[in-house]
Structure 1
């Protein structure tokens, strides 16, 4: 019980410091308020042109559903954005990671606490304003069909994004220049997470492959849970089923992160880091 209380106090302290630190740069967050609406506006014109006047659904998605999807993608991105990979790589390459070996706190736990503080700031200065813009200016219904499952799915995506990126950051312990892996992963993620185009538009064999990769679980799944239905590779799953699968994939990713972290620390200490 005392250990849980201590961990909570650490999370609160680190998150609060991170929040205050980034609050000094909240103009950056306020500028990004326009990114979501501009992105949505571009998608609005593109998909209006694609659908035209025919009104027919594309891959089971009608125009209104498509617009809600992209609105959800933008809002979810504000809540789950992560840069743990970049931070970890910088600490390793600069040698500052050594200081965390001397602290009574696990660096991954510290980094997760930082993200919590940073995303609280994002919720206040990015998510809420954009939600109001989508809801009342663009007149897009941004109320999830299943609020509870949507919150759980976004939380899973929040942690999934962190642990996946942390695994990418751990590559810095083996590579002289790990930014290449980070750039490749980000490029793949932008395509196969569903952020650019719904995954049902990809060929069937790619859709099946995405069940075994982390990409869809950070963006596409929470967006579809928000919409109230999930289909990929011709497989339709109920909302509780896909959220459960997302949770299982998250647990596997956490396990992978732990294995890689222990190997990385062993390599770090064996090299006299």
Structure 2
């Protein structure tokens, strides 16, 4: 187990170093993050107008949510979602299959390494994000403890979704169009743009039936106390459910994708 973990960490370190080579791309991502936070703050300020609260949520809580959700989304959704597509097109997947670590584990480690490369830049951009948006302390002691757990759950669910998206390349080779659709759907239904509590009931029901809420809405809502009491455990349970379900789906998809690779290789 420790040897397998060491190998996965080695893959993550390699992808971390590769990601750092694209500094201009990361800079543009964080500039867009700051712009989105600013625009969301302007939109929500106009939406609230002179009203102190809407649906029991004050303007300060709403702008704090927008700031937190945008930062989370940027951290967990780097511009390079998964290396699988490129490796399938280049044929490097054949080398990956020969390594002493399973292919899904390799790719998941690589994705985590790539995503972690955004942390240094995010730490630099964070003060500006809080200045443009709104900073709020955790709503309670429970929120303080539960938020890091929810954040970890969001990371796991997000990376499993990226892994599944990348595996589509075994059938299509090119997934750039699908990736664009995914980004739009994921950002909306995750609550990164509009929190679930403001969505119309039919749309909210759809969002609650999808895994995307676990990646943005749940951590932010826990932090700000919009999910509290026994609801916190239920929300963390939703993340755990999707982590388990997506892991099982990933295993099933990989079993079929692997056979397809063998067919392509003759």
TM range (shorter): 0.7 to 0.9
Structure 1 residue aligned with 2:244, among 243, 246, 251? 251
Unaligned runs of 5+ in 2: none
Q: Residues 245, 74 of structure 1: CA spacing in aligned structure 2 closer, same or farther, 3 A cutoff?
A: same
Q: Residues 267, 138 of structure 1: CA spacing in aligned structure 2 closer, same or farther, 3 A cutoff?
A: closer
Question: Quick check: 1:189 aligned with 2:186?
Answer: yes
Question: Quick check: 1:217 aligned with 2:210?
Answer: no
Residue 9 of structure 2: aligned partner: 12
Question: What is the aligned-residue RMSD (CA, Å)?
Answer: 2.4
Structure 2 residue aligned with 1:144, among 138, 142, 159? 138
8 Å CA contact 1:79, 1:122 repeated in 2: yes
- Once the 2 structures are TM-superposed, how far is the Cα of residue 6 of structure 1 from its aligned partner? 0.8
Q: Deviations over 1:76-106 (max 9, x none)?
A: 1233125675521222233221121122222
SS at match of 2:54: coil
Q: Residues 71, 141 of structure 1: CA spacing in aligned structure 2 closer, same or farther, 3 A cutoff?
A: same
Give the length in aligned residue pairs. 263
Residue 130 of structure 1: aligned partner: 125
In structure 1, C-alpha distance between the alignment counterparts of 2:46 and 2:80, rounded to whole Å: 38
In structure 2, C-alpha distance between the alignment counterparts of 1:95 and 1:215, rounded to whole Å: 31
In structure 2, C-alpha distance between the alignment counterparts of 1:41 and 1:85, rounded to whole Å: 25
TM-score norm. by structure 2 comes to: 0.87
TM-score norm. by structure 1 comes to: 0.85
- Once the 2 structures are TM-superposed, how far is the Cα of residue 10 of structure 1 from its aligned partner? 1.6
Question: Quick check: 1:272 aligned with 2:265?
Answer: yes
177-186 or 46-55: bigger deviation: 177-186
Residue 26 of structure 2: aligned partner: 29
Alignment of 1:1-273 (within 5 A): 4-55=1-52, 57-82=53-78, 86-126=82-122, 128-135=123-130, 137-138=131-132, 140-145=134-139, 146-175=143-172, 177-230=174-227, 238-272=231-265
236-245 or 44-53: bigger deviation: 236-245
8 Å CA contact 2:69, 2:216 repeated in 1: yes
SS at match of 1:238: helix
- Once the 2 structures are TM-superposed, how far is the Cα of residue 118 of structure 1 from its aligned partner? 2.5
